[in-house]
Chains A and B, each alone.
Chain A
Amino acid sequence: MDSMNRRAFLQWSVRLTALMGLGAKAIPVMAESLTQLAHGAAPALWLQGQSCSGCSISLLNSEPLGPEQLLTQFLSLSFHQTLSGATGEAALEVVNRTIAQGGYFLIVEGSVPAGMPRACLFGEEVFSVQLARAARKAKAILCVGACAANGGIPGAEKNPTGAISVPAFLAQEGITTPRISIPGCPAHPDWVVGTLAHVLKFGLPPLDQLGQPKAFFARTIHEQCPRFSDYERENFALNYGADGCLFKLGCAGPITRADCTMRQWNGGVNHCIRAGAPCIGCAREGFASKASFPFHLTASPGRAEGRS
């Protein structure tokens, strides 16, 4: 690791450690955990089910620990559908060799079409069969994004494929490998990298009842909202672009636990509420699942009334 990378990486460790509430003593330990990954001590395997690749794309937006450092210095990622050099048989071979060796961190993006297994194939193999194989041999499983963590849009009502979350699938299969859920549509890169780093050195991070790291998902968006004072003063926006709390436009911030408003997106450039868009609750368990819970409550002037 050259000095530039080392410095960037230590800075990132400091920030991460602070965010996870671990204190200064943990910084060198955290650094070591990431270094350990780089030397093949903890290989990772990334599989995609019914996904849009949005969580992969989101992870590539990671900073200040950039994708180059993630991929070359801190992760020993044997396979990723969107990045792998290997194609066709060579790709199957890499995946199967990784599974045979075992002991990797399995990262899964996308839901599992439990009701229609042929709705997701990898090579000639049904994805759910591949996932079960890979999950049994994994050290731990990270279910990344709304689809893997909660079923997401593929698992919404009226879906034709019987799509379910990865934890639900593992429970069906009786697979007991430790798993962590990182919700979000997509998952924020910090949530993925921070969780992975914690798992490596400290074991499983403190999790909530949904198996989500408390470090990122303990408090609601509403509690941490820059427009919270508008809510308190009952200054509500009734149309897009208006100032004020977005509650009456359908904002799901009060029922969504995540730290987007503090962390922001794309390296701090913006976030949904700051940009005048009501939170659509992409990190909450029931995200998108019901037509009776629309994302927006304004459809006509005067219709805005907020969640009851």
Chain B
Amino acid sequence: MKQTINVSPVTRIEGHLGVKVETENGRVSSARVVGEMFRGFEQILRGRDPLDAQEITQRICGVCPVEHGIASITAQDSAYGVTPPDNGRIARNLVQVANFITSHVTHFYLLCGLDFVDLSQITAYQGRDSALVGLRDWAKSQLASVAVNPVGPFLPQFPAQLIRDPAVNIGVIKHYLDALEVRKIGHKLCAIFAGKMPHAATLVPGGVTEQVTALKITEFRAYLARLRTFVVESYLPDVVAVATAFPEYFEIGRGCGNFLSYGVFPESSGERSRFLPAGVLLSDRLQSVKVEAITEDVRYSWFSSATGRKPTEGETIADPNKSGAYSWLKAPRYDGQVVEVGPLARMLVAYHDGSRPGIKAAVDELLKSLGRQPKDLVSMMGRHAARALEARVLVDRCTEWVEQLVPNQPTSVEFRIPESGQGIGLTEAARGALGHWIEIRGRKISNYQCVVPTTWNCSPRDDRDRPGAMETALIGTPVADAKHPIEVARVIRSFDPCLACAVH
């Protein structure tokens, strides 16, 4: 029996997303992922001062502003021919890594937690934890009240099978509450060298404006220790517990099987020094990234501009009434292929790269504890596992970066904006590969294009009718109850979609 299910709006992601799936005999047979919001950042940037770019592009997204800022100033570094001094490079890494970990924690608990935990169990809580007692009493008073949506915004949840073990369930709820505080600590870490969050103030071509002092290093260490404790003691164990409770999700949401990472966190001034390496995995074969292989199709997008363009010659002309189109996202392709980006892509590229034995060992250890094979990572649950593992790897590595800062040494170098030039800034956002392309003429921005993680993952069909990465991953997903398609929602959220980014 065929059925159409419309999941719109998809909440607990960033932004405006709708997903339409067709099911046949209780499984998804096709999916359309719809980006529902457009602002036109690329047009707004044209004709502006190049130094406006890192401020404006950060405002593409309040969840990943740092990464847009880093992509923009990296593109400008290349256009101006400057390299930040070590302090500047490390400070940028620290701001970016703190936002990565904040984002990962936010994603698992605030965005996905309610897909796994049974919040109603809090009313039966008998323990003495003050936060949980407070939550219980509030939930009870809400349920007894005339509030228009009692226990909002957290309820209603889908009526579905959630975590059955009360101890695990209450544990994850407790960590949800902890995560609300921990993500604030993550943003304090960012703000030490970023000035403020969201929307970092200090990111400039040539480095950062903030200075390094012994006090700042000490503050950073102190907050980082608290973030690290949460990642090690709560986040990663909770992901393992959820993975153990829902083993079927290692078979669901598998996706296209192709992965792209631009690499992130340079550990020296050399291009190839990134802690998480760049690479493309096409059918399990690792290749180096060729920027010229990236194109964007728009046949199914609400844009009338030319299709199949490289970002260097890209255009963005809106046409909300375009016949046959169904999304505000373009359809980026790598060498014509559908690829997935994100923490899973980064962990798999590092796993296959061979130059990061520590990451490979960490992946193998996690898989062993879960009783899984590397191929199982390519799944809904594998995305969560890879994200949590990445947080664990990064929280350890950045502890070493802090110690490499040298007080009172410069954090930036001077630069000169050329009459004309171009630059590419490739980095990674928490949710995947992020590229900015800047072209300068007459010392103004003449073209600016962003190809953003969720544009890859939530892409609509391309000119050859091939569905995007999430559309592919949804195919085969079992749907037990068409009125409450929690399985579809779980697969969607495993990608950590960020729609403001994707359309910009």
Cβ–Cβ contact A68 & B177, under 8 A: yes
Q: Which of A117-172 contact B (CB under 8 A)?
A: 118-124, 127, 152-154, 156-161, 163
Closest to A79 in B: B153
Closest to B204 in A: A240
Cβ–Cβ contact B202 & A275, under 8 A: yes
Contacts of A60 in B (CB 8 A): 180, 183-184
Stretch of A17-25, A44-52, A190-198, A225-233 at the chain-chain interface:
A44-52
Contact residue among A77, A185, A267 (Cβ-Cβ distance under 8 Å from B59): A185
Contacts of A72 in B (CB 8 A): 134-135, 138
Give the CA-CA distance A117 to B302 in the complex, in Å: 13
Chain B interface secondary structure, helix, strand, loop or mixed?
loop
The answer to whether residues A61 and B61 also contact, given A159-B44, A277-B209 and a CB cut-off of 8 A, is: no
The answer to whether residues A294 and B61 also contact, given A39-B145, A119-B318, A275-B201 and a CB cut-off of 8 A, is: no
Cβ–Cβ contact B114 & A85, under 8 A: yes
Cβ–Cβ contact A53 & B11, under 8 A: no
Cβ–Cβ contact A158 & B43, under 8 A: yes
Cβ–Cβ contact A67 & B43, under 8 A: no
Given contacts A58-B198, A275-B196, 7 further A-B contacts (CB under 8 A): A1-B134, A4-B130, A85-B156, A90-B158, A91-B11, A266-B191, A274-B195
Give the CA-CA distance A107 to B414 in the complex, in Å: 43
- A-B pairs with the 5 shortest C-beta distances? A54-B62, A275-B195, A265-B196, A276-B209, A294-B49
The contact size tier of chain A is: 35 or more
Give the CA-CA distance A134 to B188 in the complex, in Å: 35
Give the CA-CA distance A124 to B156 in the complex, in Å: 21
* A44, chain B: closest CB distance, angstroms: 9
Cβ–Cβ contact B318 & A88, under 8 A: no
Q: Which of B126-181 contact A (CB under 8 A)?
A: 130-131, 133-135, 137-138, 141-142, 145-149, 152-158, 177, 180-181
Question: Most chain-A CB neighbours within 10 Å: which of B12, B153, B328?
Answer: B153
Contact residue among B65, B184, B489 (Cβ-Cβ distance under 8 Å from A63): B184
Give the CA-CA distance A157 to B48 in the complex, in Å: 10
Closest to B498 in A: A53
Question: A250-294 toward B: CB 8 Å interface, digit per residue (1/0)?
Answer: 000000000010000111011110111100101000001001001
Interface residues of A (CB under 8 A from B): 1-2, 4-5, 38-40, 43, 46, 48, 50-58, 60-61, 63, 66-68, 71-73, 76-92, 94, 97-98, 101, 104, 113, 116, 118-124, 127, 152-154, 156-161, 163, 185-186, 239-241, 260, 265-267, 269-272, 274-277, 280, 282, 288, 291, 294-296, 298-301
The contact size tier of chain B is: 35 or more
Give the CA-CA distance A274 to B192 in the complex, in Å: 10
B500: interface (CB < 8 Å): yes
Contacts of A39 in B (CB 8 A): 141, 145
B52: interface (CB < 8 Å): yes
The answer to whether residues A275 and B210 also contact, given A122-B16, A301-B414 and a CB cut-off of 8 A, is: yes
B10: interface (CB < 8 Å): yes
Q: How many contacts A-B (CB < 8 Å)?
A: 327
Give the CA-CA distance A134 to B300 in the complex, in Å: 32
Question: Most chain-A CB neighbours within 10 Å: which of B177, B204, B209, B489?
Answer: B209
Give the CA-CA distance A52 to B59 in the complex, in Å: 7
Give the CA-CA distance A240 to B73 in the complex, in Å: 14
Cβ–Cβ contact B198 & A291, under 8 A: no
Give the CA-CA distance A5 to B131 in the complex, in Å: 9
The answer to whether residues A123 and B39 also contact, given A68-B181, A185-B199, A265-B197 and a CB cut-off of 8 A, is: no
Question: B37-52 toward A: CB 8 Å interface, digit per residue (1/0)?
Answer: 1111101101111111
Contacts of A123 in B (CB 8 A): 8-9, 18
Q: Which of B283-308 contact A (CB under 8 A)?
A: 302
Contacts of B417 in A (CB 8 A): 299-300
Q: Which of B192-239 contact A (CB under 8 A)?
A: 192-199, 201-202, 204, 206-211, 219
- Selected A-B contacts with CB under 8 Å, 13 pairs: A2-B134, A5-B134, A52-B61, A66-B184, A72-B134, A73-B134, A79-B152, A87-B158, A94-B149, A116-B38, A240-B207, A267-B188, A296-B204
Closest to B178 in A: A68
Contacts of B60 in A (CB 8 A): 52
Contact residue among A84, A97, A118, A163 (Cβ-Cβ distance under 8 Å from B12): A84
Cβ–Cβ contact A53 & B14, under 8 A: yes
Contacts of A124 in B (CB 8 A): 6, 8
